[in-house]
Each structure stands twice: as C-alpha cells, then as structure tokens.
Amino acid sequence: MKKKKNSFWEFFTSVKLALFCFFTLAIASIAGTIIPQKEAPAFYIGKYGEATAEVFRLLNIPDMYNSWWFISILGLFSINLIICSIDRLPTVWKLVTMDNLDTKVNRLEKMTPRIRFATKQPKQEVVLQVEETLKGTGWKPSQRENETGTLLFAQKTPWVRFGVYIVHLSILVIFAGAIIGTFFGSKGSVMLREKSQVPFFYKFGSSERVPLGFDIRCDDFSLTHYDTGAPKEFRSELTIIDKGQEVLKKSIVVNDPLDYKGYTFYQSSYQAYEDYWVTIQDQKTGARKTFAANPGVELKWEQAGITFGIVNLLQPDRWGRYRLKIWFSDGKGEPSIFWLDGENPVSVERPDGVYAFESEQVFATGLQVAKDPGVWPVYIGCLLMLLGLVVAFFLSHKRLWVYIYEEGDRTRILVAGSSNKNKVGFENKFNILVEKLENNETLQLSKG
C-alpha cells in the first residue's frame, strides 16, 4: 500500500500535533483549576468584573471542560492518535511479520552484538550443535538453507512492538466510553425521606425528573459518630420496588452503593428533620404503631384510645444525642409525662397496661444516582493502557541470527542479535549464549 504523503495527512500524523494537544490541554486545564467552574453568572461578574465575565461567557470558561473548544482539542487529539497510528502501523506490522530467515548476511555483519567463530567440525554437525544450544538457552530457532550456508533465526516477543499502539488504542477506548456515557447515561440525585419512596430522580444541572422505571424506598437512615464527633458512617436501608414487588433490599454506605437495572445509588448526603419517629407498642395486645411526631403537636391513635405528644426536647448534639419529653394518655387515670433518652426504649406502666416507647430522629438520605453504560469501556481502556505501557516500556523484541557456512576446510559461524529496547540486558543474554557455544566440547570453537 502506497499512501499519499499530502500535507493534510502529514499534519495529522505529526508528533508536533500531539505535543501541541498535550500542551494546550494542559494550559487550558490549569486555567480551569484556577478559575472556579460551574458557578452562577453573578459569581464571575462579582469576582472578575463585567467585561471579563462577558469574555468568559463567550468562551464558555465557566464550564470549560464541556466547552466546544475543549472538546474540539480532545477531538483533534483523537484524530491525531488514530491517523498517526494508521500511518505507522504498516511499518511495525512488517517488522513483526517479516521473514527474518531472508535477512542478508551483510546486514548481520553490521549488527551489535555480533561475534564470529570458526571450527574444524563439519557444517552439518555444527548446525545441529548450535540448534541444540539455542534450544537449551530458551530460543526456538527455525532454519533455512541458502546458496552459501545455513541461517538459523530465533526471536522473542515480536508483538511487543505493538505496545505503544495498545496505549494509543486504550486512550481511544476510554474516550469512546466517555462519549457513550455522555449520550446514553444520566446522572442526578434525590433526597429521600425515611419511609418514603420515589419512581424518579432529579437530573444534575437541569433538575429535570428522570423516571427510573421502578420505585426506590428509604426504610431507614442512620448516622454514627466517632468519639471526637466526626462522622463515622452514613447508612441507608434501601428497598427497590419493581412492579409492586419488593425485589431488592440493601444497606448502603459511602463506597458501597446499590445497583439495579443499570442504575447505581450512592450514599452522598443526608438531611435531619425537626420531627421524630415515635413507636408505641401496647404490651397487652401487641399492637404497635409508629408516628412522625413534631414537637408541640398532639397525636392520636384512635383504635388504642391513645393521645400523646412531644412537649419538650433537647436538640441533638454533635454526636446525635437528643432527649424527648413525652406527654401520654390512654384515657385511664392521670396522663404520664416522661423522658425518652435518645433511641433507648422506655417502658411506661399504666393502671390498665404497659406501653413500650421508642424514638428515632427523622432523616432524609441524599442519594446520588448514576447510569453510565460507558464505565466498562473506560475500565477496559484503563486496563489496556497499563498493559500497553508495561509492554511498551519494559518488554523488548529480541532477535537472534546464527549464520553457518563453509569456507575452505573450516566451518564458520556468525552470531548476531538485535533488540529494540534494553540493549544492555540483551547483550547479557547474548553473552550467556556465546559462552554456552564456546563451552560446547563438540564444537571446539576458536575466535575469528
């Protein structure tokens, strides 16, 4: 294949363009870390003045990483990657698949490392011995007779020459994943009060409602603290309700989300309410009911003939500890007034029975919701990149030729090798082989 070397093609194959992309992306990114992103227009006017803010607006600086020009540079970078890989790949392909047994002797004579030997042994015997020695040092030689002698060739890991293209490909795979995510994914959040459920979430940026196709319910949210008062754990008990059925229950914490039908629900924040869950159980009948009680509001449980309310309250401290003063009447005798100490249960004795009280602060859990079908391509791309980098940096394509021919009454041997990387390491391997040949008693080699 002979390609046209026009200037357009050359522009896209050049490393200069790659360096230009690296440079502009880096400079733009620096600007993006200094100028706060995604703030309201008023913020920029206040901070930078009206004229600068207008320039920012025109150039999409407030949302720079999603601006047309930033995306364009990324696009240019991708085209550069693709074209320069296409441009160089045929040469590399040739190097990997070439017939090395066809290598001319005069090329071997220019290689480093190389060494010459001579022996009085017949050529057939020498070929056999050399072949054995090569096999004994981990090389798998093939051979071919030509007009003047026999050429043996062995190579190791020729495919490592593709390493750098694996890295380039990995970047494109990651970009593809990002594009898939942009077009087929959606991200948002929802605040869910305990014991309530929703069939949607709010999309980031637009606060548009996105239907989930199922319901998600928060059964409970709990917040625990370290002794220092620092938060230890945010935990939400979630239930998925699909077509009226409870299909999945999971307790999620930060770093351990819930997955269902392509959506992932992450614990991201919470909100505390003014009211408290108060659960009353009639120990005689076993009847039990939970109320959302607001301080100062009287509540009734008609069937049990109960009236109660929170008459006083000690607000939660930084460990979340609170106290509730409960006023309670079951219509028989004097009403009871007592304290509920946080979530500890309290048993209340009445003339006509015993009631158990429990309370809990009411919370809403803040869930981040994400659907991103592009994540797997991105992960595969990342894996490819690491693999490609290791191959490209640390593995080398090693080649070894041994040319054996007759000259007068002697058999001559030319050993030559080449490696595309780590020449020092290759020379050590080469010397080990040479030593083995020299120590071969049947060969009886002499230098020269």
Partner 1 sequence: MDSSKLLGITTFIYLFSTLIYMMMFIFRFKKVGLLATVVTIIGALTHTAGIGMRWLESYQMGIGHAPLSNMYESLVFFSWSIVVLYLIIEFVYKNKIIGAFAIPFAFASMAYASLSPEFSNRITPLVPALQSNWLIAHVFTCFIGYAAFAVSCGTGIMYLIKMRDKGDLPNSLLASLPSLKTIDDITHKIILFGFIWLSGGIISGAVWANSAWGTYWSWDPKETWSLITWFIYASALHARFTRGWGGKRIAWIAIIGFLAVVFTYYGVNFLLSGLHSYGAA
Q: Which stretches of the chain bind partner 1, using CB under 8 A?
A: 15, 18-19, 22-23, 25-26, 29-30, 32-34, 37, 65, 164, 178, 187, 226, 228, 230-234, 253-255, 257, 264, 266-268, 368-370, 372, 375, 378-379, 382, 385-386, 389-390, 393-394
C-alpha distances (whole Å) from 64 to each of 32, 42, 44, 61, 183 are 7, 17, 14, 4, 19
Beta-carbon contacts of 331 under 8 Å, excluding residues fewer than 6 positions away, are 305, 306, 307
To the nearest whole angstrom, how small is the minimum distance from the Cβ of residue 390 to partner 1? 6
Cα dist from 6 to 3, 10, 12, 13, 21, whole Å: 9, 6, 10, 11, 21
Q: Kindly tell me which of 90 and 305 has the beta carbon lying closer to partner 1.
A: 90
Closer residue to partner 1, CB minimum distance, 338 or 393: 393
Name the minimum Å distance from CB 77 to partner 1: 10
Q: Residue 160, exposed/middle/buried by CB under 10 A (0-12, 13-18, 19+)?
A: buried
Q: Quick one: 146 or 182, whose CB is closer to partner 1?
A: 182
Parallel/antiparallel/unpaired status of strands 263-282 and 258-260: antiparallel
314 or 386: CB nearest partner 1:
386
For the bound state, the minimum distance from the C-beta of residue 143 to partner 1, rounded and expressed in Å, comes to: 34
Q: Where are the beta strands (DSSP E) in 194-331?
A: 196-203, 209-225, 231-242, 245-253, 258-260, 263-282, 288-293, 299-301, 306-314, 323-329
Q: From CA 307, how far away is CA 290, in angstroms rounded?
A: 13
254 forms bridges with which residues in the sheet? none
Nearest partner of 137 among 446, 401, 429, 394, judged by Cα: 429
Nearer to partner 1, 324 or 367 (CB): 367
Question: Smallest distance from the beta carbon of 421 to partner 1, in angstroms?
Answer: 10
Q: Is residue 153 a contact partner of residue 140, using CB atoms and an 8 Å limit?
A: no
Residue number with CB closer to partner 1 (123 or 250): 250
Q: What is the largest CA-CA distance in the chain?
A: 129
Give least dist CB 59 to partner 1, A: 16
Q: Give the three-class secondary structure for 294.
A: coil
Residues 6+ apart with CB under 8 A from 289: 279, 280, 301, 304
CB of 370: closest distance to partner 1 in angstroms?
Answer: 3
CB 19 → partner 1: shortest distance, Å?
5
Give whichever of 245 and 255 is closer to partner 1, judged by the CB atom. Answer: 255
Q: Using CA of residue 224, residue 226, residue 230, residue 233, what is the dihedral sign?
A: negative
Integer Cα distance of 413 and 115 in angstroms: 8
* CB 32, min distance to partner 1, A: 6
The residue (of 73 and 356) whose beta carbon lies closer to partner 1 is 73
